[in-house]
Amino acid sequence: MEDKQLTPKQQEDIISEWNSREENPPSLLELIKIAYPNEKVDGRSKKGRLVKEFLATRKIKARGAHQYKAKEKIELSDEHEEFVRNNAQVMSATEIARIIFANNEITPLHQETRTVNEYIKTLNFEPYESPQNIPSSTYKPPGTFDRTLSRINKYIYQSLEKSKMVPKEKKDVESTMGYLNTYRFTHQINSYSSQTSRDLFESSFIRYTYDKYDLTQEEVDQYIILSTEVVIASDIQHRVGRLQDLLDDVANDTEGRRISMSLVDAIGGSQTEYNQCINRQHKLLGDLKQKRSDRLKNQLGATASILNLVEVWKEEKTRKKLLKLADLRKKTIKDEMGSLMEMGELKAKILGLTEGEVLDE
């Protein structure tokens, strides 16, 4: 028999669950599962609607499954705040949050990072990374031709006009849209904790690839790595600048000199790391250019070979046609000469011609 309303037992269970969780009210789906524990039903089913109707009679509004549930505010302990104060000038908020909350999966969008940023705003010094530079949402690649073209024009020197684009340029834009929508690209760009790093990564990748519609998947991955190296180099330069500022601020006392030596070592190590990063960029870019050059050269060689074969075929065809025409001409003249010979040898002699002379043999 089809249910027309909840049983008293189901109603009691729902109210009991709701009252027991005043600080963290259950969602609609949770209440439906309370009423129908062994059935697969949701808010769109008839049984789900029965639960909603019952809640309405009690003026209870449960949160739907699609509705966002804000996380509870996170409080920093005294130890957390001390760690932030000691490291905010040399570490990003995301890096700090991952350490103090012991979770390497924390991203710039997590509540933990936002809490650290809020505390950094209260400090009286310039942090390593401005809290205003934190991305407010995940990166979404362009999904249409026009949006991709707009993104390309944002970073290249000479803008492309859609109305004046040639077929090759249109293929370039369509391919770039595909490159930006690969999982590896979106995963990498969303791993950055600052909007500046995201923009630098995206701009580097687009400038390297926007005019190359024929990249292989392996080459796309390598250009992603190359763009990552560009961001790494920028981060190292920023770190060196911050360390240099700290070095300039250190006092000249004994404690200050000891700190100075540590900072000098850190700066030296960072500069070495920067040089290594630049060398990796040059090598990777050189390899990509050479690989692409070789591929295009092979394609050009294959095309040239086909064209040569076509030309040779055309020449041979023309030569055979000319020879055939020459043979037909000789045959026609010979037939005419035969007709003349039928007039009698005397008439031919009068003409002063022989068959061989007519045929020029």
For residue 319, the surrounding DSSP H or E stretch is helix 254-341
What pTM, to 2 d.p., does this model score?
A: 0.54
Q: Where are the domains of the chain?
A: 8-57, 78-133, 145-303, 311-351
CA 11, distance to chain mean position in Å, is 51
d(CA 223, CA 44) in angstroms, rounded, equals 46
pLDDT of residue 129: 72
Give the orientation angle of helix 254-341 with respect to helix 217-249, to 10 degrees: 160
pLDDT of residue 326: 67
Alpha-helical runs (H) found in 145-216:
145-155, 167-180, 183-189, 195-209
pLDDT of residue 337: 60
Residue type at position 252: N
Q: Please give the structure tokens belonging to residue 185.
A: 């690209």
d(CA 35, CA 189) in angstroms, rounded, equals 44
Which residues touch 169 (CB under 8 Å, ≥6 apart)?
160, 211
Side-chain-facing half-sphere of 316: CA atoms under 13 Å: 6
Can you name the residues that pair with 27 across neighbouring β-strands?
63
Positions in the chain whose pLDDT score sits under 70: 1-3, 21-24, 61-72, 131, 250-259, 300-319, 322, 326, 333-361
pLDDT of residue 332: 73
d(CA 168, CA 212) in angstroms, rounded, equals 9
pLDDT of residue 304: 52
